[in-house]
Structure formats: C-alpha cells, structure tokens
Amino acid sequence: MSKPQDSNHADMVQKFKRKIRYFEDSEQYDKYDDSFELEVPYNYYGNRGYADLLRREYERKKENVDDWTLLRIVAYEMKTSIQDVGETTRQVKKMDKYLPESEEFPEGKFESVLVILDTEENREIVKENIDYFEGIDTRFFDLDGEEIYGMREIIKREEEEKKTEDEESELSYEIDSDLSYQDIVNVWEREKEAKTPVDLPENFFEEATQYLAESKKLVDQARDSSSLGSKKRRRIEKRHPRAVKISELILKERAKKQVLAAYYSHEGMAIEKENFTERDEKVVTKIEDVLDEFMTPFDEVL
C-alpha cells in the first residue's frame, strides 16, 4: 500500500526532486550522478514507515570512465503543513533509525532530511517548537521560487525582511491602490478562522482586483529595470503570486460560506447576514433560486 498523498504534496515532491537532481547541462554532471525512488517503504522488525523521496548520489571514479562509487543515500520526509509537531519529528527520527537497517544501506552513507513547505504558518510553528527539531536536518522549500533554505537562512531572511519594512512601505505607494498586500493577508487570516463571512474593507474585491493588476504591472517594471537591486526585484516578483494565491483562497472560503448560507436559508433556517456585502447577497440569492428550481419536480410528492 502506498503512502497517501494530496496533489499539493505530490507537486512539492516533484518540484523538489527537480531542484536537487543533477542535470545534463550542469557543471557537475560529468562528475556526479543520482537516482531517485518515490514512496520508499521500510519495515524493520515491525517498525514501519515510508520515505517520501530517496536519493542515491554517485561520483565518477575516473574522468570519462563509466565507473561510479556511491557517495551517500538521502531520505526525505516532505511536509506541506505541520499538523502535529511531535508526530512529524517522530516520523523523521523513526525513518532515520530504521530505514537504513531495513534496506541494509552501507554504514556511514545514509542521511535523513525533513523538508517543509516554506509558508509563514510553517515557519512560525517551527520557531515556536524549535526544541523538537534539534538534531534533525530541516530545510524549507519555497514552491514558487523553487528555492531551498536551511533553518539559519530562514531566520536570517526574516531578519532582513524586518529591516526592509520601510522599503516595503515605499513599495506600497508604488502600487496605485487603496489596498495593500498586508490588507489582503489580514482579510485571509480572519476569513479562514471564522465560520461566517467576516467584515470586509469597503469595496474590498474591487480594490483587490485593482491591487493585483497594479502589482502585475510592477513585476513587469521590476524585470525591465536595470537600476533596481536584485533583492528588491526578487521581493516584488515573489509578492505578486502570493497576493494572487491569497486572494483566491479568500474567494474560495467566501464561496463555501455563501453556499452554506443559501442552503440554510432555503431550508428556512436563520442565517447571519451582518457582514454580507451586496455581492454576497446576490450570490446567495442566485444559489437559492437554483435550489428552488432543483426541488421543483419533487414538490408534489414531498
């Protein structure tokens, strides 16, 4: 039986594999090679589990001679989110202990790595529970930029981001919108936690649409600019897809609540409309009309 995976997890594994492998056009390709296995099971006297990804790295013994020696074997545990810190670290330690025994890997050649999707939520969880991760080689993988960061790099990057808050403020006025990136993030943070729609800033969806359009223009300008620093250009380029993704999440979460509100209203139950926008009410009314039409053939027999 294979290890259950969702599409996000599978996408993360494939992109990470593509990032770390040796390509034919790389400088190291003639000297090094590697092979990969997905969902590798192990069972050592009843201690069972899976490695999401197993990589074997080889080094050519002599130039232009097809004779290779095994350098190391690396098992990766991949996490898109951390639901249980203790369980996550136990999985990695268990894999580190029993996978090489189960497969009888050469002594001293095996390493295990925990790879976590680089999100603000995951970073906060790791920082708040840093003691759990002691002794575990932990990396963060940025899915959009396909970059890999170690723990120290993440902490250093966050410190740099704090130092550039003034630059971020400067970036905000370069986007011709009354809404900022942080405003969009704040709405998502509230919306995902609430059971009913949250109160939105005035004309939120119109302003968010304008913000994303202006943000896309800014990305194009940044790519064409020769005077813009590489760090700021990278920050601008990464912020836009994040803003798009968060906006999509807000829409999806809002849509789920609209559908539920329409169903409850159709069934004659009271619904909370305090934070409904005009757009929300129109959508709910349309869904109720569809429900009415759907139920019409059964009216005579119900």
Write down the CATH number for the domain with range 165-298. 1.20.58.1030
Give pLDDT, residue 38. 95
- Choose between 61 and 36: higher pLDDT: 36
Give pLDDT, residue 49. 95
Give the single-character DSSP code of 74.
E
In the sheet with 110-117, reading across from the earlier edge strand, the strands are 32-44, 47-60, 68-79, 110-117, 138-142, 147-150
- Tell me what the mean pLDDT of segment 180-187 comes to: 89
Delimit the domains of the chain by residue range.
Answer: 7-162, 165-298
Could you read off the pLDDT of 22-58 as tens digits, one per residue? 655 556 667 888 899 999 999 999 999 999 999 999 9
What percentage of the chain exceeds 90 in pLDDT?
36
- Choose between 265 and 5: higher pLDDT: 265
Fold of 7-162: Trna Endonuclease; Chain: A, domain 1 (3.40.1350)
- Choose between 162 and 48: higher pLDDT: 48
Is 165-298 the same fold as 7-162?
no
Say whether pLDDT at 248 is over 80.
yes
Q: Which two tokens stand for residue 295?
A: 């139920």
Give pLDDT, residue 44. 94
What pTM did the predictor assign? 0.52
Radius of gyration of the chain (CA): 25
Mean pLDDT, the chain, whole residue set: 83
Phi-psi group of 70: left, alpha or beta (phi > 0 → left; psi -120 to 50 → alpha; rest → beta): beta
